[in-house]
Structure 1
């Protein structure tokens, strides 16, 4: 893996930064970014090492993975990671074994999960369809009389069938039968968006209530969460699209960034600009260019792996 003349210690440092940034939640990543940027800009060799680590991770993405892959494919994926990281250094191997969502979760937890930049779909035994967005984690309990899905982190979309389906997030219990819903839990209070049917929400601190089709609600433990209209972007990601309906630019960049290993940011002066339209999640450069053009802004790439949106 190492380029001629590249110090293995520098390469190990690049892997260390890459693992930290991939494992961090958005708020944690924002704290790490200035320190990473300082390291990246300190020497030309740092940028070269970072580019090699990005290329290595891209090769991992091309391998079969996830619950739909067979045992041989899973073993090939893990073997390829270990072999490549041995070339990067023993320190890098230890870091990735601890922090990689794909490898660590696959080995340690019987859960539905997706890595950063990955989405996935499962059909459960009771006929319900479950989609997980990038970087999500769900515990699955399929015992009778009803399936139970517990959202630990990230976002899921469910098309529940004729059988009752129970979901939980934090201390709250959600009951669905025939509903189409999105449940999101990242840095703030969880949000529930209902697109079809109705979902009953119960918690220890309040009386049960219903969230019905085309409604959304912040799920506070005290039952006092904000109300809003269900947002199509909370289901469009499973079709590979980010649908913006008066979406703030900073929120657009956060959504897009969840599907790529690139840091996206904008000037505070343009953060509240509103976007409309459909953008392909997989086409990062095209979507960024289209958004910048729509708002009369420009793009700047100050360092590898970092794109800024600035006033024209």
Structure 2
């Protein structure tokens, strides 16, 4: 078995869990499962581990509903700022995130929302995003806690327009630009004019001009690269566009449009390049296409949990 490959016995146990929880499971299925279970002590151990994983999510799902109701009530109380309900996943456990508590605007999974600010600027927020807005006489400061936003900035030389994300900042220089903050990485792509990007702890900002993009995150600030603006802005037309993008990054992106988690069980397949166009409104279809065209399998362990592992 390859070093990064998942335990095949555990995968089989998870497959049995899926099959037996199905309403269509027959007595023959249950008898076959009992035979498999009795074949080897390792099968019983894997079954216990799989049940533990399953219980973990069964316990959490009622809490998901409670948190979403709580967030919806909070948003109604903040109607002047506009609000919404959102669900986030971290380490396999769903919880209300710090961004949700501090944000003025939160979009749900699969939701897009356009805001017009008091200064005339507009922001289009993508799926599963959280944003706060602070517009004063001295400046316009927005904080993107997670997700993606497209910013169309109204000219106002006396009040700088800044977007803060992951400890860094993006200052508009009279412009339209996209900011994506996902999985600890911030990517800024400029559609018009320019922005000044400063990563966390960086000594100075760098200028990013029209048609260029830059990323920053845990590893610091990356270099300027040409932006494929059609691909960058595809989410605004309900599309995800990938060209030779590693599978692990594709799954992170698909997860933003799907309730629940997508768990990559093997690092060995994470680097497989993907070139595709998917509909953000059909994330499960995207997963199925990946399973049909790449040497991987996708197991839907629950409605909220999808496991991706090698087909070999």
Q: Normalising TM by the smaller chain, what interval?
A: 0.5 to 0.7
Give the structure 2 partner of residue 198 of structure 1. 194
Give the structure 2 partner of residue 151 of structure 1. 144
Q: Report whether the alignment pairs 1:248 with 2:250.
A: no
Tell me how far apart the structure 2 counterparts of residues 48 and 185 of structure 1 sit (CA, whole Å): 26
How far residue 159 of structure 1 moved from its aligned partner, in angstroms, is 1.9
Give the structure 2 partner of residue 126 of structure 1. 119
Residue 229 to residue 66, structure 1, CA distance change in 2 (3 Å):
farther
Residue 39 to residue 115, structure 1, CA distance change in 2 (3 Å):
farther
- In the TM superposition, 1:213-292 aligns within 5 A as 213-219=210-216, 224-231=221-228, 232-266=230-264, 267-292=266-291
Larger helix share, 1 or 2: 1
Give the structure 2 partner of residue 181 of structure 1. 177
How far residue 189 of structure 1 moved from its aligned partner, in angstroms, is 4.6
Tell me how far apart the structure 1 counterparts of residues 250 and 304 of structure 2 sit (CA, whole Å): 18
Residue 237 to residue 39, structure 1, CA distance change in 2 (3 Å):
farther
User: Are the aligned partners of 2:254 and 2:280 in contact in 1 as well (CA < 8 Å)?
Assistant: yes
Deviations 1:182-225, CA, capped at 9 Å, x for gaps: 22334435332222221123577434431012211124799853
Deviations 1:214-264, CA, capped at 9 Å, x for gaps: 211124799853333325554322332211121211111111112222322
Give the structure 1 partner of residue 39 of structure 2. none
Residue 38 to residue 234, structure 1, CA distance change in 2 (3 Å):
farther
Give the structure 2 partner of residue 33 of structure 1. none
Residue 167 to residue 105, structure 1, CA distance change in 2 (3 Å):
closer
Tell me how far apart the structure 2 counterparts of residues 277 and 170 of structure 1 sit (CA, whole Å): 29
User: Are the aligned partners of 2:162 and 2:169 in contact in 1 as well (CA < 8 Å)?
Assistant: yes
Q: How many residues align?
A: 250
Q: Report whether the alignment pairs 1:311 with 2:311.
A: yes
3-state SS of 1:272 partner:
coil
Gaps of 5+ in 1: 1-36, 78-95
Tell me how far apart the structure 2 counterparts of residues 124 and 205 of structure 1 sit (CA, whole Å): 29
The alignment's TM-score, normalised by the length of structure 1, stands at 0.61
Tell me how far apart the structure 2 counterparts of residues 209 and 43 of structure 1 sit (CA, whole Å): 45
3-state SS of 1:250 partner:
helix
- Pick the structure with greater CA Rg: 2
Gaps of 5+ in 2: 1-46, 86-93
How far residue 269 of structure 1 moved from its aligned partner, in angstroms, is 2.8
Name whichever of 266-275 and 247-256 sits farther off: 266-275
How far residue 306 of structure 1 moved from its aligned partner, in angstroms, is 2.5
User: Are the aligned partners of 2:113 and 2:124 in contact in 1 as well (CA < 8 Å)?
Assistant: yes
